[in-house]
Structure 1
Amino acid sequence: MLKIEHLQVAYGGIQALRGISLEVPDGKIVTLIGANGAGKSTTLRTITGLVKAQSGSIQWNGEELLGKSIDRIISAGIALSPEGRRVFADMTVLENLKIGAYLRRDKAEVEKDVEWVYTLFPRLQERSWQLAGTLSGGEQQMLAVGRALMSRPKLMMLDEPSLGLAPLVVQDIFKIIQEINRQGVTVLLVEQNANMALKIADLAYVLETGNITMRGTGAELLADERVKEAYLGKNG
């Protein structure tokens, strides 16, 4: 389980996180929703060690992560698929996937995991020798998720996986997130498409200007009038 307690983060005098606490139980899909600038991406980046915290605690299965190197955090079983995909444009699909396994030494198992990613994303197998920069937006998002899976994470964090994608592609991405979870990977999902995120989430948190203002099951927040008004539009 991932457990965050009283986490505070500041950038150049601006308080990005104001003492948030949340839990991500093993085997669940947990989503963090909120407007731009609420602190969602900052939360993920702090968990992975990309951003330094002022105070608080981030524990992964009882082990404190704050102060640990990014390599140690990845080796502990945590992976991030970042906002904006950030694939290596001048490298092939296969090369991008193998970069995701750069800390691993079990070459035979890495090859098996490439095949596993291809079963999740058949389009990546079809384009394995294509340069990542020539893929469509949806294919690049699939590649970013596949690359993160290559570290064989126990906790997969996804930052805005639906951003800029066509509705049909978004549906595919969310189905794959559910399939990854069914195969035993815990998921922490940051997503502006609150409707889709809450539909698949076991637990959900609303983050507003660095504070968690609501929490509950995905179904509870989906039905909450305040969430509907703020994040789901008038029709929910």
Structure 2
Amino acid sequence: MLKIDNLKVAYGGIQALKGISLEVEEGKIVALIGANGAGKSTTLRSIVGLVKPEGGTITYHGEDLSKVDTKDIVKKGITLVPEGRRVFGNLTVVENLKIGAFYRNDKKAIKEDLEWVYSLFPRLQERTWQQAGTLSGGEQQMLAVGRALMSRPKLLMMDEPSLGLAPLITKEIFKIIEEIYKQGVTILLIEQNANLSLKIADKAYVMETGKITLQGSGKELLTNDEVKKAYLGESVHG
């Protein structure tokens, strides 16, 4: 579905991505874990055209994404839930959700999708007419995900969905991610909570300073000594 090959990105002469390669298969959850500054967000921003690579290729169903205008990426079925949520605080919950369907014209389908999003996030339905800026952090994250789903993505990319959230809300968000996946949406997930993301990932990659250093199934990386020590807070004996 999505293939990144030897991707290189530099900011002001500093190499943020040093030739990374990864694949996202259709119908899978792929996790990208690593410390802050490893290049994870840069990877997602490159896919949607917010950052221009200086080398390598990004292809989606065989099409070179560098030739697709950034504003048309969502029409191809790729949607990004950015880090920090970025909801429109002065608009209501339902207005934010409808913005996610901005390029679609089928009112009946949009209404059905709105009902689907509300079924995933009952809390949003309760707050339909509330200004988004008055929601809690967890509710704003749910709204950001719901807004992305209103574009009917084939590939949903999520950048740190649990950032700043309490553990209980984080678990709730991850349950919803699994539910979205069961509905047939492919997911590329960046997440500081390596333990939770590896548990649900079909495939996972570890990034360090702009390079992919490890890859394997989520289960394989959960039991990898290097990953345990660096990202799961476990001491490794032996």
TM range (shorter): over 0.9
In the alignment, what sits opposite 2:164? 164
Q: CA deviation at 1:71?
A: 2.1
Asked if residue 120 in structure 1 is aligned to residue 120 in structure 2, the reply is yes
In the alignment, what sits opposite 1:232? 232
Letter in 2 for 1:26: E
TM-score for the superposition, normalised by structure 2: 0.98
Q: CA deviation at 1:99?
A: 0.5
Superimposed CA distance per residue, residues 180-236 of structure 1 (whole angstroms, 9 cap, x where no aligned partner) = 000000000000110010000000000000000000000000000000000000269
Higher deviation after alignment, 45-54 or 67-76? 67-76
Describe the SS at the equivalent of 1:4. Answer: strand
In the alignment, what sits opposite 2:85? 85
Q: Distance in 1 between matches of 2:67 and 2:51?
A: 10
Q: CA deviation at 1:156?
A: 0.2
Q: Distance in 2 between matches of 1:46 and 1:191?
A: 17
Q: Distance in 2 between matches of 1:41 and 1:107?
A: 33
Q: Distance in 2 between matches of 1:175 and 1:202?
A: 15
State the superposition RMSD in angstroms: 0.9
After TM superposition, list the pairs within 5 Å mapping 1:5-44 onto structure 2: 5-44=5-44
Q: How many residues align structurally? A: 236
Describe the SS at the equivalent of 2:162. Answer: coil
Describe the SS at the equivalent of 2:36. Answer: coil
In the alignment, what sits opposite 2:218? 218
In the alignment, what sits opposite 1:45? 45
TM-score for the superposition, normalised by structure 1: 0.98
Letter in 2 for 1:23: E
Runs of 4+ in 1 over 3 A off after TM superposition: none
Q: Distance in 2 between matches of 1:120 and 1:11?
A: 38
Q: Distance in 1 between matches of 2:192 and 2:74?
A: 25
Letter in 1 for 2:31: T
Q: Work out whether residues 31 and 205 of structure 1, in 8 Å CA contact, stay in contact via their aligned partners in 2.
A: yes
Q: Distance in 2 between matches of 1:197 and 1:7?
A: 23
Q: Work out whether residues 49 and 67 of structure 1, in 8 Å CA contact, stay in contact via their aligned partners in 2.
A: no
Describe the SS at the equivalent of 1:192. Answer: coil
- % identity of equivalent residues: 69
Q: CA deviation at 1:72?
A: 1.8
Q: Distance in 2 between matches of 1:42 and 1:94?
A: 30
Describe the SS at the equivalent of 1:66. Answer: helix
Describe the SS at the equivalent of 2:103. Answer: coil
In the alignment, what sits opposite 1:71? 71
Q: CA deviation at 1:109?
A: 0.7
